């Protein structure tokens, strides 16, 4: 987004929206933060990422959370500690670089014909599992 920002940042907006939704539904965020959850939140909307992730896992033939995390960490050069420590913006920037590098070295996967970066497909898979 290159447009000049006139209002609150998107992170703040998301926070307000989440808080508002929690108040309306009477629920509170129950799940504690984890590296898997922090990464999964950056995969896109839960619904879209979940659909793609399920298709990827079906092709892959299994859903091993720790293996997925190890593969993502290898591609992003991020440890679990770093995932927890980095800000969401910094984490998103690292993921964007990893996706570009996947394409550069042809580390891609075909999911129902879509050519996705290896990191991207695994992030979607995470979103279905956490």
Partner 1 sequence: MGPFDRFADARTIETGTTIDADVCIIGTGAAGITIARALANGPQKVVMLETGGLNYDAAVAALGDIDVIGRPYPGGASRLRYLGGSTNHWGGQCAPLDPIVFGPRPWMGDAEWPVDYADLEPYYRAAHKVIGLGEYEYEPAEVLKNTPFAVMDFTDGGPVRTSISRYHRQRFGLAYAADLNAAPNVFVYLYATVTSFYRGDTGDAATHVTVATLAGNSFTVRATRFVLATGGIENARLLLDSNGQQAAGFGNGSGLVGRYFMEHVAYANGVVVPKNFKPGFDVYFDEQRLDDPTGDDVRIRAHLTLSPEATRALEVPRFRAELRRYSELRLALKHVRDFNFGFGDVWDVMQEPGAIWDALVNGEPPPDVGAFILANYVEQIPNPASRITLSSTRNALGQHIAAMDWRLTRADEDGIKLAHRVIAHEIGRSDFGRFRYDMLEDEDAILDGAYGGFHHMGTTRMGTDPKASVVDTDCRMHEAPNVYIAGSSLYPSAGWPNPTLTLVALAARLADHLKEEVARDG
Confirm or reject binding of residue 24 to partner 1 (CB under 8 A): no
**CB-based burial, 99-126: b 16+ in 10 Å, e otherwise:** bebbeeeeebbebeeeebbbbbbbbbbb
Binding to partner 1 by residue 126, rule CB under 8 A?
no
Minimum CB–partner distance for residue 42 and partner 1 (Å):
5
21, 70, 77, 92: which one contacts partner 1 (CB under 8 A)?
A: 92
- Which of 126, 127, 111, 129 has its CA nearest to residue 70? 126
Q: Does 45 bind partner 1 (CB under 8 A)?
A: yes
Place of tokens 């591609």: 75
**Rounded least distance, CB 28 to partner 1, Å:** 20
Interaction of residue 85 with partner 1, rule CB under 8 A: no
Stretches 24-32, 48-56, 63-71, 73-81: which one binds partner 1 (CB under 8 A)? Answer: 48-56
**Cα 51 from Cα 35, distance rounded (Å):** 21
What is the rounded CA–CA span in Å between residue 59 and residue 57? Answer: 5
Q: Is 103 in the site for partner 1 (CB under 8 A)?
A: yes
Please, what is the minimum distance in Å from the beta carbon of residue 29 to partner 1?
16
């Amino acid at each position: 987004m290159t447009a000049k920002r006139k209002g609150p940042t998107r992170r703040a907006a998301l926070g307000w929206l989440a808080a508002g939704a929690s108040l309306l539904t009477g629920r509170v965020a129950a799940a504690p933060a984890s590296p898997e959850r922090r990464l999964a939140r950056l995969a896109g909307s839960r619904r879209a990422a979940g659909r793609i992730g399920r298709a990827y896992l079906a092709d892959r033939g299994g859903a091993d959370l720790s293996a997925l995390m190890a593969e993502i960490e290898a591609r992003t050069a991020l440890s679990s500690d770093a995932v927890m420590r980095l800000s969401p913006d910094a984490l998103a920037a690292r993921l964007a670089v990893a996706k570009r590098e996947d394409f550069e070295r042809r580390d891609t996967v075909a999911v129902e014909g879509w050519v996705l970066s290896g990191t991207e497909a695994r992030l979607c898979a995470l979103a279905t599992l956490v």
